[in-house]
Structure 1
Amino acid sequence: MQLPDISIPSNTALMEQTIEYQKGILGCSGDRRCWLWESGFDDWQQFAPPQSNHFFGKMVLLQGKPLLIGGCDSNDMTCPPLAKVEVYEESTKQWLYKASLPQPIRSFAAIVVDNGTKVIVAGGRLSSSTTDMVTSFQLLNNAWTILNSAPNPICYQLGTRVTLPDTRDGFLMVGGFLDGAFTLSVKAFFMDLETMSWESLSAFDTIGNTMHGGDMFYLEGQVFAIPYYEGGIWQDASRILSRDMTDSNAQWISHNMSAKFNLGKISTISIKVEEFPIVWISA
């Protein structure tokens, strides 16, 4: 089985947010630059720029529309967070502001639920502390709803939606910083999407060095954790973790990478191109 080749856009160094969009990849930098790669053409085209910067923010696909959430106006690690939210409207080829976050945040985790109609945002860095707030947003009513708080204030965590070996569907978060300080963590937390309650999930605590920043994907029964940093604070990561979510006895497996990568120099995207599952990484 051969994977289709994907070219790399001429400027990937700042492509922080990436999603599957229109049978291709939409990637945006924190400083309002976006590109679209279309399957079948293998070509990157410039895409309409958002109205605001979103360094350390997130982009998700909500009701088929790209949505940019929070972040910062600059790529400084101490930058004050933003509450701005923008959605891309294909009909006008423009990004439009939507209801602001309940509080300005950056460096958080987010998943999409309810058949692509709702995004859940968990944790994040505030101006001088870390939050345990968990909120959800729907385009239909253009409003944010406060949900049950995470077990700990947490930021820079990796998170994705998974199905556990016990068949529960939910929001899995690992790594990051805990309790409002730069306390590195290996802990795993899980929100059950049926009960909307959180729990510590020690069986899924990560192995080896602590990790913070990065992306996590769930693909065909496997979960992949791709950190930007591991070990000490802001030390470049050099591995990927994977785990079989269909086996209750499975453990995390560490895969060493030949080259280190860090925040601002990597983009990751989980997509299916021509029915092939892909984790795309560009340094």
Structure 2
Amino acid sequence: MNAIPHATRDAVRVAAVAKHHTAGEHRVAALDGASLTVRAGTLTAVMGPSGSGKSTLLHCAAGLDRPDAGTVTVDGVDLGSLGERGLTEFRRRRIGFVFQDYNLVDALTAAQNTLLPARLAGARAGRRHALAALEEVGLRDRADHRPHQLSGGEQQRVAIARAVLSRPAVLCADEPTGALDLARGRQVLDRLRAVVDVHGGTVLMVTHDPAVAARADRVVFMADGRIVDELGADGAAPAAEAVAVRMAGLEAV
């Protein structure tokens, strides 16, 4: 599979997406006409107050949730045009996932966990592919360890190895450093930056931490189910202080 050219096309396009959830007798709008374009070969961070819709946006962009209205296009494919089986197969082949709680299988080794999605997708991937992916995240020597034998940071790096094994069109990360201390969080961010800077991949990441967001090429801010602001569109790296100021302004509303 060819590598994605760096920042030459759209990896993800979310257009006027609406998504509602039911809370008791009330219908709540998690997304209210949200639109976002993510260029290939970039790391985009999504921030916003609690309840702003950032995780729902990520789940729609990743094909985990179907929007009530609007369109989501990933790697040139309109996800709304796919049936459930087709969407599942597309996610397995073209979308990688990294979550705050790692989602590793306790009974499997790091190498086996790394291979699991590829095996489910029917890909011809073996131990050497797992070892190569673990090498990229600095864990080749931990390939035969099970999750309980690994630190939180190591487990998250296994999750990244698993996500990038098949070189997906986009890697979606939901609070990937949220459960980690500063040092281990930095290691995970270094690996996510390598997905972009070394391999030309694309990362869409939700975070609440301005210091984490400052490692992105672009930071977009959400409020009330919409994108309301951004930093980095001019090519200048977003500073943690500027991100924190924008977030404080949104939380004060």
TM-score higher than 0.5 here?
no
Higher strand share: 1
Measured against the shorter chain, the TM-score band is: 0.3 to 0.5
Higher helix share: 2
Bigger relative contact order, structure 1 or 2, given CA contacts below 8 A and separation 6+? Answer: 2
Q: What TM-score does the superposition give when structure 1 sets the normalisation length?
A: 0.31
Q: What TM-score does the superposition give when structure 2 sets the normalisation length?
A: 0.33
